[in-house]
């Protein structure tokens, strides 16, 4: 029997765990979202935190999400996706495609951190309300400078790959869906939730990014997932938060 | 003839490029630090910026550092080190060791970003002086919460690997020097420069991290490099900056 994939992540937010969930869902591969599973021993938050407080695990995670697969315990979203990519058929063959897909994922991860820091520019240990003035300044920079810069980069990659690949299909790497496509969908979706005005405006200059986003959302398995109860709604505990004052 | 490694990075700071420089230096492998090379066509900043403005390169870098090796153009520090690791003999064999070393590197990268954001919590496009009040708040959180948390994690890894490896040598992964050891040295060195009081205090609770730092500094090749003119001094244009008001 093959080992089942276990995702350990906070049960009430999309957060960084969602990038891993999207990969499993798009691949149609069974996985346990451990903290959200009822009636399973060691489920919920204790199971998650055990990884950090376990005294002997040779590869202790610094922070969730954490993937357990057989004896492997892997943290860091981009590392998890790099591990899963070939196993789920969500990355091209060969070192060049894998490295490039991973490099894109790392840049998406940077953008995610910056999106998070718009509402927590001072400390993750403080409430948003305790850093609201700073958040307004940081969000203004994110909307005006950083978000357009990131989108322009993704747009350039999509345009170049479209030329090189020649196919009508739109992907970041090569001619088929990769985990980077899924992650870019999630980044755009999150920014559309958190900064609807700024993101819509920025996407006017990134039409291929918008098209990729829409195509991923129409992917058969993804569309089913996004409408299911497994997809947690965006909320103001997650990475992408809708605070209207940060979008104007 | 083997292709020469080319590092493209800002010529006047250690910055993220330093993690790549340390790998080459510790391995004793020849590389061109392109922007610092005089008299070479396309050297200096234009060569670096060409990557971003080149219209056809299929893998355009979002930001430096950038490694060029033959036809490959790779950005993102952690991805560069993942690529170089096996080629420079700075990572263990096998997927488990490589993935774990990379995961540690990604967490070091997160710590580096947080160290940077202590002096630029609002925007990289503004001067420090224009975000000094916010910087004081963020630095306080970094010194009190984040830095000790990161160091405790590295300490736990070193302790567990020491038990598992059994050797007297101290390494993050397995029984030999990896690029993660070099990067942790650089993170500690940078924090000792930027926050001498807070880092010294935090290292009291992370004696193995301090020992690893000191052992890496005594590595024969590294010691020569650190005393050479190739090692750029820390300065207030880099990631780790000494602003005394951020250390108290």
Report the CATH number that the domain containing residue A32 is assigned in CATH: 3.40.30.10
Q: How far is A41 from chain B (nearest CA, A)?
A: 27
User: Is any Cβ of chain A less than 8 angstroms from the Cβ of B82?
Assistant: yes
A225 domain residue, yes or no: no
Q: What percent of chain B has pLDDT over 90?
A: 86
Query: For residue B108, what are its two tokens?
Result: 């070091």
Task: Please give the Cα distance from B105 to A230 (Å, whole number).
Answer: 32
* Furthest CA-CA distance within chain B: 54
- Round the CA-based radius of gyration of chain A to a whole number and report it: 18
Quick one: B61 and B123 in the same domain?
no
Q: Number of C-alpha atoms within 13 angstroms, CB side, residue A66?
A: 22
User: Is any Cβ of chain A less than 8 angstroms from the Cβ of B83?
Assistant: yes
Task: Please give the Cα distance from A59 to B100 (Å, whole number).
Answer: 7
Answer with the residue of higher pLDDT: B46 or B173: B173
Region of A154 please: left (phi>0), alpha (psi -120 to 50) or beta: alpha
A227 domain residue, yes or no: no
Indicate the helix (H) or strand (E) that contains B66: strand B66-69
Indicate the helix (H) or strand (E) that contains B68: strand B66-69
Q: What is the pLDDT, as a whole number, of residue A44?
A: 65
Quick one: B196 and B84 in the same domain?
no
Quick one: B102 and B209 in the same domain?
yes
Q: For residues A82 and A68, is the Cβ–Cβ distance under 8 A?
A: no
Query: For residue A206, what are its two tokens?
Result: 């990134």
Q: For residues B247 and B195, is the Cβ–Cβ distance under 8 A?
A: yes
Quick one: B139 and B203 in the same domain?
yes
Q: How far is A96 from chain B (nearest CA, A)?
A: 8
The beta-carbon neighbor of A122 closest among B62, B79, B134 is: B134
Quick one: B143 and B43 in the same domain?
no
Coil, helix or strand at residue A74: strand
The answer on pLDDT for A45 being more than 80 is: no
Quick one: B63 and B168 in the same domain?
no
Quick one: B141 and B60 in the same domain?
no
Task: Please give the Cα distance from B98 to B103 (Å, whole number).
Answer: 9
Q: For residues B61 and B52, is the Cβ–Cβ distance under 8 A?
A: yes
What are the tens digits of pLDDT across the range B123-145?
A: 999 999 999 999 999 999 999 99
Instruction: Enter the ipTM.
Output: 0.95
Q: What is the pLDDT, as a whole number, of residue B224?
A: 98
Give the predicted TM-score (pTM) of the model: 0.96
User: Is any Cβ of chain A less than 8 angstroms from the Cβ of B125?
Assistant: yes
Q: How far is A44 from chain B (nearest CA, A)?
A: 23
What are the tens digits of pLDDT across the range A179-208?
A: 999 999 999 999 999 999 999 999 999 999
End-to-end CA distance of chain A: 53
Structural domains counted in chain B: 2
Give the pLDDT band of residue A244 (cuts 50, 70, 90).
very high
Mean pLDDT for the stretch of residues B186-214? 98
User: Is any Cβ of chain A less than 8 angstroms from the Cβ of B164?
Assistant: yes
B245 domain residue, yes or no: no
Mean pLDDT for the stretch of residues B69-95? 96
Quick one: B208 and B100 in the same domain?
yes
Task: Please give the Cα distance from B229 to B190 (Å, whole number).
Answer: 18
The answer on pLDDT for A28 being more than 60 is: yes
Answer with the residue of higher pLDDT: B9 or B45: B9
Here the CATH number for the domain that contains residue A159 is 1.20.1050.10
Domain boundary among B71, B88, B105: B88
Q: For residues B191 and B240, is the Cβ–Cβ distance under 8 A?
A: yes
Domain extent, residue A38, equals 5-88
Quick one: B129 and B83 in the same domain?
no
C-alpha B200, offset from chain centre: 19
Q: What is the dihedral of CA B205, B218, B177, A101, to 10 degrees?
A: 80
Mutate to test the interface with B, among A77, A106, A187 (most CBs of B within 10 A): A106
B21 domain residue, yes or no: yes
Query: Hey, are the CB atoms on A134 and B122 less than 8 Å from each other?
Result: yes
Quick one: A104 and A215 in the same domain?
yes
Query: Hey, are the CB atoms on B145 and A125 less than 8 Å from each other?
Result: yes
Q: What is the pLDDT, as a whole number, of residue A162?
A: 82
Give the pLDDT band of residue B48 (cuts 50, 70, 90).
low
A204 domain residue, yes or no: yes
B243 domain residue, yes or no: no
Query: For residue A5, what are its two tokens?
Result: 């994939």
Coil, helix or strand at residue A6: strand
User: Is any Cβ of chain A less than 8 angstroms from the Cβ of B171?
Assistant: no
What are the tens digits of pLDDT across the range A61-117?
A: 999 999 999 999 999 999 999 999 999 999 999 999 999 999 999 999 999 999 999
Q: In chain A, which residues have their Cβ closer than 8 Å to the Cβ of B126?
A: 141
The answer on pLDDT for A54 being more than 60 is: yes
Quick one: B83 and B103 in the same domain?
no
Number of H helices, E strands in chain A: 10, 4
Quick one: A55 and A130 in the same domain?
no
**Residue ranges of B 34-53 with Cβ closer than 8 A to chain A:** none
CA angle, A116 as apex, A186 and A84 as ends, to 5°? 45
Q: What percent of chain A has pLDDT over 90?
A: 86
Task: Please give the Cα distance from A225 to B41 (Å, whole number).
Answer: 53
Q: Number of C-alpha atoms within 13 angstroms, CB side, residue B185?
A: 27
Q: For residues A143 and A247, is the Cβ–Cβ distance under 8 A?
A: yes
Query: Hey, are the CB atoms on A122 and B121 less than 8 Å from each other?
Result: yes
The answer on pLDDT for B45 being more than 90 is: no
B186 domain residue, yes or no: yes
User: Is any Cβ of chain A less than 8 angstroms from the Cβ of B56?
Assistant: yes
Give the pLDDT band of residue A133 (cuts 50, 70, 90).
very high
Give the pLDDT band of residue A57 (cuts 50, 70, 90).
confident
Answer with the residue of higher pLDDT: B144 or A35: B144
Q: What is the pLDDT, as a whole number, of residue B2?
A: 74
Domain boundary among A88, A107, A137: A88
How many interface pairs between A and B have CB atoms less than 8 angstroms apart?
106
Q: How far is A140 from chain B (nearest CA, A)?
A: 9
Query: For residue A245, what are its two tokens?
Result: 């004052």
Q: For residues B59 and A100, is the Cβ–Cβ distance under 8 A?
A: yes
Coil, helix or strand at residue A143: helix
Please give the DSSP secondary-structure letter assigned to residue A145.
I
Query: For residue B18, what are its two tokens?
Result: 């330093």
Q: What is the pLDDT, as a whole number, of residue A146?
A: 98
The beta-carbon neighbor of A58 closest among B60, B83, B160 is: B160
Give the pLDDT band of residue A52 (cuts 50, 70, 90).
low
A161 domain residue, yes or no: yes
Query: For residue A197, what are its two tokens?
Result: 């005005």
**Residue ranges of B 85-114 with Cβ closer than 8 A to chain A:** 96, 99-100, 102-103, 106-107, 110, 113
Domain boundary among A47, A69, A88: A88
């Amino acid at each position: 029997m093959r080992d089942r994939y276990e995702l350990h992540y906070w049960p009430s937010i999309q957060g960084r765990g969602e990038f891993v969930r999207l990969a499993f869902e798009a691949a149609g591969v069974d996985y346990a979202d451990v903290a959200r599973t009822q009636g399973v021993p060691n489920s919920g938050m204790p199971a998650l935190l055990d990884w950090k407080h376990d005294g002997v695990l040779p590869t202790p995670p610094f922070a969730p999400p954490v993937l357990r697969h057989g004896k492997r315990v892997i943290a860091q979203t981009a590392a998890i996706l790099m591990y899963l990519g070939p196993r789920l058929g969500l990355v091209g063959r060969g070192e060049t495609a894998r490295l490039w897909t991973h490099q894109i994922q790392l840049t998406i991860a940077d953008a995610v951190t910056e999106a998070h820091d718009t509402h927590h520019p001072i400390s993750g240990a403080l409430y948003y309300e305790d850093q609201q003035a700073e958040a307004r300044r940081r969000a203004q920079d994110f909307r005006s400078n950083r978000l357009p810069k990131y989108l322009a980069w993704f747009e350039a990659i999509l345009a170049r790959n479209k030329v090189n690949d020649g196919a009508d299909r739109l992907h970041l790497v090569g001619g088929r869906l990769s985990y980077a496509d899924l992650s870019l969908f999630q980044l755009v979706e999150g920014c559309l939730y958190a900064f609807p005005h700024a993101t819509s405006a920025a996407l006017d200059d990134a039409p291929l990014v918008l098209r990729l986003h829409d195509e991923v959302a129409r992917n058969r398995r993804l569309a089913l997932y996004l409408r299911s109860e497994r997809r947690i709604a965006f909320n103001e505990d997650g990475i992408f938060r809708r605070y209207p004052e940060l979008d104007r």
